[in-house]
A and B are shown apart, each in its own frame.
Chain A
């Protein structure tokens, strides 16, 4: 189909959203969907961010303001879920506790005929940013799936799926192949790296979920997201940290130090922000959003750290040096 001369346009894709709310929340001790985030529930917070993201994606593709696409909430059979705070379609996972593909199948089934693709989210990401949702949608392109690969792991519940993959999902379930990775192997999948997402969510807070009450408290206490429904609800404490560079890291970055923030509450977030600020460090000092194996990070000149969930405090200094110190 052609419109303006010299430009090819693709068929308009209708996007919807799916929020999987049926997990067992066993380590939390209470249903995640009901947890408070500011004055809303977790489910309402996440559903709101997805809806806003869908609107944002639509408005970039169209000239006039767009209504949000349809949103499906997938719960366990008989599960009591709080109101989502906006019009949604509630469906049940037909078999409980079989992992994300089962919920994905239910959600995609419910959207069949109503949307062409959907942003799929878990319901335990209170810092999900609408801009992140919109960015993921924009990155789908010609692929069937767009999924983030951050910190060496895929994030299938922060991903976009065409409704057409339902058939493959069902086939995988029939074969008892329940890992989302099998789906990525079978359908054209665009793997999205941190670099592609940083503009939309500098701290990649949208990917931060929780499984225990402590993680939940920490997330909300130090969430530090600068925008978005989740952040607004959680409140933010600005956390800036300083990276100091020595040797090769200094040569690569072209500077002695840099301050990053305001959401560097964990090492993973700080490295993500660093990669955005100093793209020249990618591939050597930083590898796929993590510290490269030939480098070391000393926290305030003391212990060496590398775990992405290493908590950081405002004003911390991370000294970047080569791992090879033999003389």
Chain B
């Protein structure tokens, strides 16, 4: 019998043929990889042919659920979308949340793997509550696969992800009346056009990083809908419910107050004060207009509503109203249909990083990114890079026309029009947008000259809003990050923002501290619990073991969970190695190793190549990798990681 919290199988669908079947997942694998990014990494190793082109039909697109999805544990309605990234050619996993996760679990699976490609724009319907079963007694999944059917997505093609989902739901309400409601996910125009940093959206949330929307777009899959009635048994429901009550109560405490009161945008002003706020493509680390963009200022001057993912008692989402007279990005002339959900990462990338200090322009750009379905961090990073190139005279209009046949668009820092126009061009792959849709690494290679030295990426993924020279644990996290410059799987900023280390002078101890945060993140992202909940745990491993024990019935120890976290980190690394990773990829762009910071509290901060190498060597040593970062054969064998 499968452990509580799991169905012990994943649903594999070929969207080209419509063939769908359940495939068993051995219990030992569930115990080793848990769910979310862990289970996703295992599935990717299993399902992706070595060396596969991320945009080829055979490349799998994986939705990995977790044992906690569907339980009453707060913030647990989450899933990981995992694929080989078209931006980095390395592993990519992005978390998203809300009802889609619950609906997918209730269709009776622990993960969904999509392969193949539709000939025409399509929509995938996974019906775990077909009419015959509607009203039937709830059961444990049933043995049969849910009905999976491909439908035409032609009428949705070209729409924003939000509009496509709305229209699809409407359609399903009439074609599938009765039964459980469907929940949906979709891509926007950028995903259709294979923008390498296109997002995949659901319930207003996004699996944002690494171009998962392009992977879905390459399958010509515009949207998917899922529903179900299965429920998964819990080993010890009483304990799970008691733990859920306790966790909810703790989630109202001071550990989450910042997220509840101001949301992640609260970082901006504090980061500016500490001079770690990336500005004008990482040329500066403070921004003169930071106050105008701050959460404190936005809260005081805008209409703001708070909202949350399904099953979350924190509610960190801050949705801001647009200025009077603003237009809907998809419907010029009409007032905006929705408010703008703003996170720190979007604010930094579309604001200071591009030198934009007008809050309305930033809100408009964030709304446009949601509408077009593009990752705000990579979009902001790539556009900021283009702005610097233009400022240095490297974008000859004859060679790089902004939009053929149209009036040239100025490309310069601080110009909202540059930002908004470039976003549209990128999504359409028009003119220079076609180049920038490839991301900063590929664009820099085409532009040539010195451009690669200041293209703001690691392994092709644009750097988020943490200045690496002044946050050196984070710098290490970016450099060794398996999906590239990624703050989420590493979380090394926690080490920088705590006592005991020197954020301006990393060393071997910094590496140890970065590993601690990375292991914790691996567990949180596999269980899955929202990372904004982590502050309520004094010792995550100690507290998570009884939680997972109550859900699954496994006799788990904290040490075993720690092993699982390390295994997950190694599996992700091994995938990259299998796909051609070399040690030279674990670095930062030349700019960060050459130019000192020049302003504010971080003035003079440098990160030498030597220091970064020493931190990387210490990281590899602590992880048990070879000195240059390879996963040793014995370690792989021990973890059961084979070539395929």
A is bound by B? yes
Query: Are B502's CB and A327's CB within 8 A?
Result: no
Chain A 233-255: CB-based contact to B (< 8 A → 1; otherwise 0): 00000000000101110110000
Asked whether B498 lies within 8 Å of A296 as measured between CB atoms, the reply is: yes
Contacts of A246-300 to chain B: CB distance below 8 A: 246-248, 250-251, 284, 292, 294, 296, 298, 300
Q: A284-B254, A322-B258, A324-B259 known; A304 and B499 CB under 8 Å?
A: yes
CB neighbours (8 Å) of A323 from chain B are: 497-498, 535
Q: Is B257 in contact with A294, judged by CB distance below 8 angstroms?
A: yes
Query: What A residues does B491 contact at CB under 8 A?
Result: 326
Complex formed: what's the CA distance from A304 to B276 in Å? 14
- Would you give the 0/1 interface string for A198-213, flagging 1 where the beta carbon is closer than 8 Å to chain B? 0000000000000000
With both beta carbons as reference points, the residue of chain A lying nearest to B253 in the complex is identified as A294
Q: How far is the CB of A163 from chain B (nearest CB, A)?
A: 43
B487 in contact with A319 (CB, 8 Å): no
* B420 within 8 A of partner (CB): no
Chain A's nearest CB lies how many Å from the CB of B78? 15
The answer to the question of B611 belonging to the interface, with a C-beta cut-off of 8 Å to chain A, is no
Q: Is the interface of B mostly helix, strand, loop or mixed?
A: helix
Task: Please report the C-alpha to C-alpha distance between residue A258 and residue B274 in the assembled complex, in whole angstroms.
Answer: 18
A/B interface sample: 7 pairs, CB < 8 A: A247-B261, A247-B295, A248-B262, A300-B601, A324-B255, A324-B259, A326-B491
Q: Which residues on the B side are within 8 Å of A327 (C-beta)?
A: 264, 267, 343-345, 348, 464-465, 487
| Known contacts A301-B601, A305-B499, A319-B274; A248 and B345 CB within 8 A of each other | no
Is A302 positioned at the interface, with any CB of B under 8 Å from its CB? yes
Is there contact, CB below 8 Å, between A294 and B535?
A: yes
A292 CA / B255 CA spacing, docked (Å): 10
Q: With A301-B600, A304-B497 given, is the CB distance from A248 to B273 under 8 Å?
A: no
Q: Interface code B264-277, partner A: CB below 8 Å = 1, 0 otherwise?
A: 10110111011100
Does B493 lie at the interface of the complex (its beta carbon under 8 Å from any beta carbon of A)? Answer: yes
Q: Report the contact-size class of chain B (Cβ under 8 Å from the partner).
A: 35 or more
Smallest CB–CB gap between A90 and chain B, Å? 46
Number of interface residues of A (CB under 8 A): 26
Which of B256, B258, B345, B497 is packed against the most chain A CB atoms within 10 Å?
Answer: B258
A303-B264 in contact given A247-B258, A326-B531 (Cβ < 8 Å): no
Query: Known contacts A301-B601, A303-B502, A304-B497: does B273 contact A319 (CB below 8 Å)?
Result: yes
At the interface, yes or no: A140 with Cβ under 8 Å from chain B? no
Q: Is the CB of A250 within 8 A of B296?
A: yes
CB distance from A246 to the nearest CB of B (A): 4
A321 neighbours in B (Cβ, 8 Å):
270, 273-274
* Residues of chain B at the chain A interface (Cβ within 8 Å): 254-259, 261-262, 264, 266-267, 269-271, 273-275, 295-296, 343-345, 348, 464-465, 487-488, 491, 493-494, 497-499, 502-504, 531-532, 534-535, 600-602
Contact status A244-B273, CB under 8 Å: yes
Query: B270 touching A246 by the CB < 8 A rule?
Result: yes
Chain A residue numbers with a CB within 8 Å of B343 are 327
- Minimum CB–CB distance for A303 against chain B, Å: 7
- State whether A292 touches B600 (Cβ < 8 A): no
With known contacts A321-B270, A325-B267, A247–B262 Cβ distance under 8 A:
yes
Q: How far is the CA of A24 from the CA of B335 in the complex (A)?
A: 80
CB contacts (< 8 Å) of B497 on chain A: these are 296, 304, 323, 325
A248: contacting residue among B266, B275, B499, CB under 8 A: B266
Nearest Cβ distance between residue A187 and chain B, in whole angstroms? 33
Question: Which B residues are CB-close (under 8 A) to A303?
Answer: 499, 502-503
A contact residues around B487 at 8 Å (CB): 326-327
Q: Nearest Cβ in chain A — how far from B389, in angstroms?
A: 27
Across-interface contacts of A195 in B (CB, < 8 A): none
B68 to chain A, nearest CB (A): 19
Q: Closest CB-CB distance, B82 to chain A, in whole Å?
A: 21
Distance of B362 from chain A, by nearest CB (Å): 15
| Nearest 9 pairs of A and B residues by beta carbon | A301-B601, A327-B344, A246-B270, A247-B266, A322-B258, A321-B270, A327-B264, A294-B254, A304-B499
Q: Of residues 304 to 327 in A, which have CB atoms within 8 Å of B's CB atoms?
A: 304-306, 319, 321-327
